[in-house]
Structure 1
Amino acid sequence: MRVKVRLFASFREAAGRSEVELELDEGCAVRDLITLLSEVIPGLSEKFDRGDALVAVNGAFAKPDKVLTDGDVVAVFPPVSGGGGKVGLFSELPSLSELIEAASPPSGEAGAIAIFLGVVRSSSEQGRVLRLEYEAYQEMALAEMEKIRQEAISKPGVKEVVIYHVLGARRPGDTVMMVAVASEHRAEAFETLAWVVNSVKNRVPIWKKEVTERGSRWIEEGRPEI
């Protein structure tokens, strides 16, 4: 069988190419593909040995034992993150306790921490949702998230804001966005939380493709003010 491998970011640079097609035996899994890539592209061997690689098959994150089939498109890329701990894009979101820790100002400065978790719904007007696929212009997205954070912190009573968003494929029930706002009182925490969530949705260049039983479509919810 034949599969196409797409290499991103540091993996593309290490390989000196962005794509490669490989012939594999039937029943080969992701771990077998990684072994073969290390052999045919020596520049990738060290990165795989360090455990730097994330792998997606046909747009969904894949574990090492995922069995490949003819025609699969496999993406290999490093973990996505950034923003110094207060804003970030992640292949796997931090835990809720890590979010709260990041949002907690020095002792006694906040009387409330309000939290929003965005979750993939199981249905839409197109039918049953199989997954959402998130993509971003990462440098611009992180910069705009930090700008939103700074604007929010400038509001009266607000002490800290944390904004995290996922990239890649997620299924119904998965968390895709985490926002926390710490403030002196609960009223400004709730008000600012809603403002931050809406600002991220309207201003940050993160896109999602909705995949349902009827097909797929990019969700484009309007042009932000520039």
Structure 2
Amino acid sequence: MQVRILLFGVLKDLLPDQPDSICLEAGSTVDDLLQTMQARFAQYFTQTGPAAQGNLWSSIAVAVNREYAPATHRLNEGDEVALLPPVSGGTENPHVALIREPIDTTAVVAALKQGEDGAIVTFDGIVRNNTRRRRTLWLVYEAYEEMALPRMQRLAAEARAKYPIRDVAIVHRLGHLEIGETSVFIAVASAHRAAAFDACRWLIDTLKKTVPIWKKEHFEDGAVWSDGEPFPAELTPQVHPKPSPEPLR
């Protein structure tokens, strides 16, 4: 059977020759697919060592048809399978968006605020001019948009269920960003400040770990995909190498 393969972030650079689809035996699982990918690209890691290969395959998450899937998930003909490096539900919320133009933070807050709110807590993620003492020139953000936006919507719904807040806004920028521009903006409206602070911190921390958005940093001496925060353990199907067959005697 044929399944479609999507690569994002650093995986596109590490596995540049990966075709758009891969052929697997009927009844194959996510683990089988990862085993096949690992074997196919083993030659790449002869230059970087086995540790690099282990780190790659143990850190990715897998989405099948835009939903995270465990290693045991059985694949079907025509499935869309996305391999996601660490990054860096409910009713749709009109304040949740992925955009490519500059984020108007003042307009986001104004659209969210209502008379019953006693507090608006915001997080404004800004492009800084350095990373680990290297001068940053600009950033590029990309996303698995068909999955990222629903995940952001789900986070907004989960925050409203988890904390005594009224509403939230989550806006993430994609594409080319200059130093000083806002990359992600989160606002939480609540009657009381404590719940708004707690929800805002939870939203940005969870977004960074679970929403498939990646950052490429461009420096004076090159460009790299930023190391993302690890996915939660339950989202990363681990590859368990299969024993090699014993040689014929």
Category of TM-score, reference length = shorter chain: 0.5 to 0.7
CA deviation vs aligned residue, 1:31-83 (integer Å, no higher than 9, x gap): xxxxxxxxxxxxxxxxxxxxxxxxxxxxxxxxxxxxxxxxxxxxxxxxxxxx6
> TM-score normalised to the size of structure 1?
0.60
Distance 1:118 1:218 in 2: 18
Name structure 1 gaps, 5 residues minimum: 1-82
Aligned counterpart, 2:108: 99
Distance 2:195 2:110 in 1: 20
Q: Does 1:125 align with 2:132?
A: yes
Match of residue 206, structure 2, among 187, 199, 204:
199
Aligned counterpart, 1:138: 145
Contact 2:163 2:199 in 1 (8 A): no
Alignment of 1:123-202 (within 5 A): 123-125=130-132, 127-202=134-209
- How many pairs are equivalent? 142
Runs of 4+ in 1 over 6 A off after TM superposition: none
Contact 1:102 1:162 in 2 (8 A): no
Q: CA deviation at 1:98?
A: 1.8
**Greater relative contact order: 1 or 2 (C-alpha under 8 angstroms, separation 6 or more)?**
2
Distance 2:110 2:157 in 1: 18
Contact 2:141 2:175 in 1 (8 A): yes
Distance 1:148 1:113 in 2: 18
Contact 1:93 1:165 in 2 (8 A): no
* RMSD value, Cα: 1.5
Contact 2:159 2:199 in 1 (8 A): yes
Contact 1:126 1:212 in 2 (8 A): no
Distance 1:130 1:98 in 2: 27
Amino acid at match of 2:111: A
Match of residue 120, structure 2, among 85, 91, 113:
113
Q: CA deviation at 1:119?
A: 0.3
Q: Which has the higher strand share?
A: 1
CA deviation vs aligned residue, 1:137-175 (integer Å, no higher than 9, x gap): 001000100111001011332100110000001111111
Match of residue 94, structure 2, among 85, 97, 104:
85
SS of match in other structure, 1:220: coil
SS of match in other structure, 1:154: helix
Q: CA deviation at 1:130?
A: 0.4
Identical columns (%): 38
Q: CA deviation at 1:199?
A: 1.0
Name structure 2 gaps, 5 residues minimum: 1-91, 236-249
Distance 2:138 2:102 in 1: 17
Distance 2:97 2:146 in 1: 11
> TM-score normalised to the size of structure 2?
0.54
SS of match in other structure, 2:200: helix
Q: CA deviation at 1:102?
A: 3.0
CA deviation vs aligned residue, 1:67-126 (integer Å, no higher than 9, x gap): xxxxxxxxxxxxxxxx65221010114422321133224x22x21010111000101115
Pair 223,119 (structure 1): closer, same or farther in 2 beyond 3 Å: same
Amino acid at match of 1:92: E
Contact 1:159 1:183 in 2 (8 A): yes
